[in-house]
Amino acid sequence: MKNVKAFIFDLDGVIVDTAKYHYLAWKKIANELGIDFTHEHNELLKGVSRVRSLDIILELGNIEATQENKDQWLVQKNEDYLSYLVNMDESEILPGVLPVLKFLKENKQGIALGSASKNAKPILEKTGIMDYFDVVVDGNDVSNAKPDPEVFLQAAKLLNATNENSIVFEDSVAGIQAANIANMTSVGIGDKEVLSEAQYIFSDFTQIDTSFIEALINNYNT
């Protein structure tokens, strides 16, 4: 019988390109507060919860804020972000992702989403790929942000897989650290230098061929 592993995917910047919408929504708030918010600053928010992201932005501008103000900005950020998602469709799926999901499905592997996003399910629905996922664990299900591995541990548990038999695809440093802390195989999607802690690194999914996935399934040294 074929080995069954748990393949766990982050969402933003891995499966779909919604990272740009987060950036635009945060930039809007930062600019309203007089903070110059750049793409470099945005890297600090990858894989981080919404609440912590706002704190990071306020720290960048050296701004003290009441909890009431913070709550208001968090609501505003989410509303702005959701307004960008209204017209999302399958064209937002990043290149090379679908062939990998199809291959895993055909080979009867466990597929999970493990994301800090609280909007993961509507995004999967809008892009038409919800059916590929056996399990979805998102920001509504966990209380600890990456690099705490809670989101991945839950996903593996729901797929009845051990940590050692779980493979995580991530584009953030915090996400790679979370996978490594949990003793899972970490696959970085993005910049080699930024994601240097990952066990394997690819610039995007078009660089991943089926032989690599097959090797992960069968525990070969890749």
Active site residues: 10, 12
Longest dimension (CA), the chain: 60
Q: Are 171 and 177 in contact (CB under 8 A)?
A: no
The rounded distance, in Å, linking the Cα atoms of 102 and 106 is 6
SS (H, E, C) 111-169: EEEECCCCCHHHHHHHCCCHHHCCEEECCCCCCCCCCCCHHHHHHHHHCCCCHHHEEEE
β-bridge pairing 6-9 and 110-114 = parallel
Exposed / middle / buried, residue 148 (Cβ in 10 Å: 0-12, 13-18, 19+)? middle
The rounded distance, in Å, linking the Cα atoms of 51 and 56 is 9
